Structure formats: structure tokens, C-alpha cells
Amino acid sequence: MSSKFIPRQLLRRQLCQPIQRHSITLLPPTTTQSIIVARSYATPTGKDDKEGGNPSFRGQVYQSTNERVQRERAEEERFARYREAQKSRSSAGIVVPIVLAVGIFGGWMLGRQQPGEPSNLSTAPLGQTVPPKHDTAPATLQAAWSDFKAIVGEENVSTQASDTKAHSGSEWSSYTPKEHEVYFCVIKPGSTEDVSEIMKVCHKRRIPVTAYSGGTSLEGHFAANHGGVCIDFSRMDKILAMHAKDMDVVVQPAVGWELLNEELGKEGLFFPPDPGPGAQIGGMIGTGCSGTNAYRYGTMKDWVLSVTVVMADGTIVKTKQRPRKSSAGYDLTRTFVGSEGTLGLVCEATLKVTPKPQNTSVAVCTFPTIRSAADCVFRVVGAGVPIAAVEILDDVQMKCINDVGRTERKWEEAPTLFFKFAGTPSSVKEHISIVRDHAKKAGNKTFEFARNAEECEELWEARKEALWSVMAQRKDDTDHVWTTDVAVPISRLPDIIDETKADISKSGLTGAIVGHVGDGNFHAIILYNDKEHDIADALVHQMVKRAIEMEGTATGEHGVGLIKRDYLQHEIGENAVDLMRKMKQAFDPLCLLNCDKVVRAQMPKPGEVQEW
């Protein structure tokens, strides 16, 4: 007999479970009969072992012992399998949830990386817009710096703090940059191809980009609100071609309008848009600027025939050839004019030019009130007098010009209109006479006009000194200047100027009114310090709100930038803004170009948007 230990539960199982073996037979139990195990015995049953085929006694013992050992082994194996199964089930209770959790998380991450189903909406509501995912990590920017050096040369990539800070804002901008809003580097390309290669690097590495051309814009257009890099076009300052007979010219973005007119003057030609001194063609196209000549000649969009732009992924696109008009396809040229560097980077422009006027003259007249001056403008425009320009400067502005003393004469410190006339000598003389009559009916105090070119230059000089003369009134470096503009239908011009003037007077701040009022556009130049910021902000807000409520615009020529973007939905409606955002996403899916300007790319922070 084997002395090997058999667990009690297994022994119980052996006794209770029916087991079929060739040497064992279980008899059905009865109420009076216990289970009897039948077994063959060695005692003969009346037949000889040989005759009945029964094994010998020893054989029976061996057979019985062998069967019991086999049963014990089978039960031990079965018990071992049972224990292993229990352990496996216990481990699975922990492993399965972990595996499921890892699988779910991995699927979520993969889903985020994979492009989702494209939206079938025609517009892009801000609430459904995914915020841009830029990479401005130091390691990424450092790697990109090596790429930029290879493209334009190390001498044309600057990480100097003085350069990056100067390109992130200006003292005349309405937007004051935050301390961290500085570019990693400033890149100066020399050609369209350079710009394309730079954008390919930025697109691959998801680095935000802001273009810089002149830096005279006012509404935070080139602020480094997303960091990244700045592309300074200052090396691309050439007039590439002049077609005098066709009256057009091809230029790079860093050509200044003043220099361009000097060169055009040699051919008897003239480029009308004339914004502030220092403005360059690239920035002028970006903001859709105008200037003093806008009343007669129109704005920048009227003088751009075509542009060559580099898209966000480095693709180079030319929007049109050189015809004066075309109805071929979408008007891509005007799509980029006024887009403020958010849709593409303008690297070349073909501009219309016009013959230079044979004769020009300037008239200056003063008025007792700003309303009477604005009323005179309404009368002149309504009479259809073909003047070249009409500018308004209030009494505060005239005082600032006198205080600075940068003009050769002393001016009367009263609301003043500056008229510019262009044409033949006889037509100029006739138009001056008509304007003088309208000024008299509006109640003017004085009226004088230039009798020669020198006097004409002297009289008009005061208008060009407006912004700088107000800035000169700052007491110290803590004072800031806020320059803003609006435009309204010409019939509402006297009302809005009069009301804005009253608001400035009540505020206690120094503020001047100046503008190209022939087309209903005027500016406010306001001085304030850090403590007075909220007062200045409220003044500008009220001025813009009033203009929009008069069916005007939040900006006539400065552009939107960062400052005016939240007024767009009040002016043109939320659907129109959402359509602009959809255009931005189509042109620049990664939102790399001047991100978050003109239209928001992500939801504003609490308190960031003023209540209407």
C-alpha cells in the first residue's frame, strides 16, 4: 500500500463521485443496502483459474495497488491544476483593468493625434475652434536657429535682446507688450525664396511667425503675443521693375512710400497712398492703409494690382499678372490686402501709379468750434468739390504743434481744416474759391491759401507733425500714447467728432483729434500714464462703440491688430467674423502667421473683453 498523503477533500471526492474503472463496479443503493464495491477475489468460484480466465491472487493485488496509485496521481494533478487556475484568476483581476486602462488611454492619445472628421460648416465659430498648438520650447527654437543660419547667414539672424524687444512693440503703439512677449530671434531674409525656406522650417516645427515691415502700425499688429520668431523684411527694399508706360511698378515689401514717390517723380508719376512717415509697402498692404490722399484717390486696396506671397507652409503664390483689371477667378489680391500678415507674407507687390498732378495748392482755415469745422467738411463734400485732401486738427493738436516748434510758423490754436487742391492752375483757383464760400457759411474765423510751392509745403507740414507733436508732450517714460481711429458716414461726422471731443475734455487726459475727414475718418491721440490706463481705455471704447452705432467702423485705416478684434462682431456680426476665422484656418491651418490677431484663435480669458 502506498503511504503517500491524500488530502481529505480529495479522499471525500473519491468516495462520493462515481468513478468508472474496468476493475470497479458501483451497485445502485437501496434503502436497506449500502454501496458495496464488487471486486474479484483470489478464492475460486467453482471454476479453475485457467478455465475462468481470472488472474492469480498476486496479480489481483498488483492490479488493485496500481489502480489506486493511478487514481491518487490523477487527483493530485487535478488539485494542482485547480490551484493554478485560482492563481490565474486572481492575477487576471488585476491585470485586465490595467490592460484596459492602458488601451483606453492609448486610444485617446492616438485619437487626439489623428485628424478628426473635417467640419462641414461654412464658418468657424470660436467655441468650436481648437486652440493652436505651437512649439516654442527652447530646444525647438535652438534647432530652428541653426536652420535659419543656413538659409540667410548667421549675420542675418539676431537673438540680441535689443533687437527682439524693438521688434515686439513701439512707443507709439496702442498695445503695451507684456514682459514675456518677446521674439526668440529676428530673421532678415533677402529674397522670396529665403522667406519660403524660413516658413518651411517654422511649419515643420510649429513655430509662430510675425512679419515686420516698417513698424509704424499702431494697434499691436507686430506684438509677440505668441512668441516665436519675427521676419524683418528690411533687406528686401528694392524697386524690382518700373513700367512707366503701363503706369505700374514692382517692389519688395521694405520699400518706403516716400522713397518710391521720389523715384516715380523722375518719370512724372505718383503713388497716392501716404500714411505716416516711415511706412513701407509691406505694412501698408497688410493694414490696408490710406492717408491724406484717400478722399480723392482711394485707399491702398485700390492701388495694388497683384502680390507675391509666401504661405504658412512655404508655398509661393502670385495672385495675378499686371493688367489694370481682371475678372479671372477669385480676387486673391484683395484677400491679402488688409489681412495684417495673418494669411500670408507679402514678398513682392505690383502697384498702380498715376501721373503726378500738374499743380497743387493748400488752404488753411480756422473755426470757433470742432463741430463747425466738421460741418464745413460736410458742406464741401456734399457740393462735390474735387479736392485732393481735407484734414482736421483740433485746438489741442494745434497747440502741441506750436509747443514742439518743428514748423517754421506759429499757428492759431483753434480747430483747423487743411485743404489740398490738385489739377491745372485754373481749376485749383476755382476750387479754392468754392471752398472759401463754404467755409464762410460754416462760420470760419480765418482762411489763407498757399501762393507758391514753398508756402504749400509749409502749410501742409503741420499736418504731418500731428502724432509726433503730441508724443512730445509726455512728461516721462511712464507716459504712453494711445492712437486710435474710426470712420462714420459723412453726415454723422460732426456729431461724433463733437461728442468725442467732449468726452476727452471731461476725462482730464491730454487728447487731440486729427483725421482725414473727407471720407469720414478721424483719429484720437491720447496721452496717459499707467494709473490712467483705464480712463484712456474707456475713452477709446466709447469712441468705437459710438462709431459702430452710427453705422460706421471700428477702424478706418489703422487696422484691427490686437486692440480692435473684439469689436468686429458688433460691427459686421458674429457670422461674418466666423467666416473670417474659417478663411484663416484654410490659409493657415496651424495658425502660425500673426496668430490671434484680426480674429481670435482661442477663447478670451475672463475680463479680457470689455462689456458692450
Angle, to 10 degrees, between the axis of helix 425-441 and the axis of helix 370-382? 130
Q: Is the pLDDT of residue 23 over 50?
A: no
Q: For the chain, give the mean pLDDT.
A: 87
Burial zone of 606 (CB within 10 Å; 0-12 exposed, 13-18 middle, 19+ buried): exposed
Q: Are the C-beta atoms of residues 175 and 481 closer than 8 Å to each other?
A: no
Segment 244-271 shows an average pLDDT of: 97
Give 526-563 pLDDT, tens digit per residue: 999 999 999 999 999 999 999 999 999 999 999 999 99
- Alpha-carbon dihedral sign for residues 48, 51, 52, 56: positive
Tell me how far apart the alpha carbons of residues 396 and 402 are, in angstroms, rounded to a whole number: 10
Q: Say what percent of the chain tops pLDDT 70.
A: 84
Per-residue pLDDT at 2 = 46
Per-residue pLDDT at 45 = 44
Segment 75-79 shows an average pLDDT of: 75
Where does the pLDDT of residue 216 fall: very low under 50, low under 70, confident under 90, or very high at 90 and above? very high
Range from 105-109, 395-399, 462-466, 590-594 carrying the lowest mean pLDDT: 105-109
Per-residue pLDDT at 54 = 59
Q: In what order do the strands lie in the sheet with 209-212?
A: 157-158, 185-187, 229-232, 209-212
Q: Whole-prediction pTM value? A: 0.80
Would you call 103 helix, strand, or coil by DSSP?
helix
Tell me how far apart the alpha carbons of residues 547 and 557 are, in angstroms, rounded to a whole number: 14
Per-residue pLDDT at 50 = 45
Strands 269-270 and 248-251: unpaired
Range from 12-16, 128-132, 468-472 carrying the lowest mean pLDDT: 12-16
Provide the CATH topology of domain 359-559: Vanillyl-alcohol Oxidase; Chain A, domain 3 (3.40.462)
Q: Say what percent of the chain tops pLDDT 90.
A: 70
Q: Is the pLDDT of residue 29 over 60?
A: no
Bigger pLDDT: 24 or 352? 352
Q: Is the pLDDT of residue 108 over 80?
A: no
Segment 464-472 shows an average pLDDT of: 86
Per-position DSSP letters for 283-301, written without gaps between them:
HHHHHT--BTTHHHH--GG
Per-residue pLDDT at 100 = 62
Q: Is the pLDDT of residue 502 over 60?
A: yes
Per-residue pLDDT at 154 = 96
Per-residue pLDDT at 308 = 98
Tell me how far apart the alpha carbons of residues 253 and 189 are, in angstroms, rounded to a whole number: 11
Q: Is the pLDDT of residue 17 over 80?
A: no
Q: Is the pLDDT of residue 22 over 70?
A: no
Q: Is the pLDDT of residue 274 over 90?
A: yes
Per-residue pLDDT at 27 = 41
Give 332-376 pLDDT, tens digit per residue: 999 999 999 999 999 999 999 999 998 889 999 999 999 999 999
Radius of gyration of the chain (CA): 43
Per-residue pLDDT at 107 = 60
Per-residue pLDDT at 451 = 80
Per-residue pLDDT at 416 = 95
Name the residue ranges covered by the structural domains of the chain. 239-355, 359-559
Q: Are the C-beta atoms of residues 358 and 426 closer than 8 Å to each other?
A: no
Residue whose grid cell is 498702380: 352
Look up residue 178 and give its amino acid. Answer: K
Where does the pLDDT of residue 459 fall: very low under 50, low under 70, confident under 90, or very high at 90 and above? confident
Segment 276-283 shows an average pLDDT of: 93
Provide the CATH topology of domain 239-355: 3.30.465
Q: Is the pLDDT of residue 85 over 90?
A: no
Q: Are the C-beta atoms of residues 347 and 250 closer than 8 Å to each other?
A: no
Tell me how far apart the alpha carbons of residues 420 and 418 are, in angstroms, rounded to a whole number: 7
Q: Are the C-beta atoms of residues 365 and 447 closer than 8 Å to each other?
A: yes
Per-residue pLDDT at 71 = 78
Which whole-number Å values give the CA distances from 15 to 5, 6, 612, in the listed order?
16, 13, 91
Rounded (to 5) percent helix, strand, coil in the chain: 45, 15, 40
Bigger pLDDT: 77 or 287? 287
Per-residue pLDDT at 377 = 95
